[in-house]
Structure 1
Amino acid sequence: MSTPKARARWMRGGLVGVCSTVMTALAHTVPGAGLPSGSGLAVVLLVCGTVGAAVSRITLEDRRARLSVVAAALGVAQALGHIVLWLGGGHHHSAAPLGLTPAMTAAHLGAAVVLGAAIVAVEYLYVVCASVLQWLRLFATSGVRPPVRKSRRATKVVVAQRIWVASGLGMRAPPVRCATA
């Protein structure tokens, strides 16, 4: 059985994977290179999804540590996606190593921190809402149920069963009219 915290961790991993893929793809369009497609997009999805799956396995109780891990994972996923697109060609902004300028690096880091804070907040709110709903369900289902009404008249349903007629197991005596001799 999964707990709300476990489901929130899975949601955190999914959000890290999706957000890092979207940020990487959108950052690819800024210099005019266009959205990645084909194998480049497939590899970016694979890399970012793998980072998201790895983040979903980490159990952290402290929100600050969770924020730093999620922001670092978003940054790593973006960097790996950027490297994949750079190696695939068509992602050359400048002569800087790997095509990363200081402005682009700052934009990626800022986006990672802001989205990391949003993902950590969503994870926390999911756990709170799930636990509140579990408590409400306990109170909603444990209410006093009205007594079951019993019918006042007794009914006796007599139905002729076809099995006695068709099976030959019914009465074997001759009819009353034939029995008088």
Structure 2
Amino acid sequence: MLGGDVAAFRISLMDFENLYANRWGASFGGFAGVRAFGAYYFTVKYGNFHQNGKEGIDPSTGSSFASAKWREQWGKIGFRVHPPLERKWSSFYGFGIAAYRISENAQLSFFETDQQESTEEIGSGFYLEAGINYFVDPKAALFFELEIASGGVGGRSGFEAMSVGGWRFATGLSLWPF
């Protein structure tokens, strides 16, 4: 199987809106999977989330918040379970591990920096997903998916208030060529 999606993503970082416009934003992604055995598929996923700074001036640096840029990308590997198809509808659920890469402007970084031109953070975590497929053709399905992910960067914990993961509500198209 392979597919692509568009999603609404809400990052979990509690103080994210102190610097950025909103915790919610658009997210785009894709995935590919191969049957491991039975209803279990080994799955590889990619996604991203971008957010710009809010209005105003940072009192400590004098920089405009509007120049802040958050660029987050993630790669995930895991298993997805697709129980047998019931007419045109089927459900799925999955889990796995995640790797995160975040880029920001150093002058207005959410993370502590040494004032370089830009900063990059790498992190890891996990994800859980559940969704439904509606097969419009035996080899093509529209889907809706809910995913929750947690990730920590810089050796910090990835629990809810400090996580670069979050809630992702996605819809898209999956193809089943085999």
Q: Say whether the fold is shared (TM-score over 0.5).
A: no
TM-score by length of 1: 0.27
The structure with the larger Rg is: 1
More helix by share: 1
TM-score by length of 2: 0.27
Greater relative contact order structure (CA < 8 Å, 6+ sep): 1
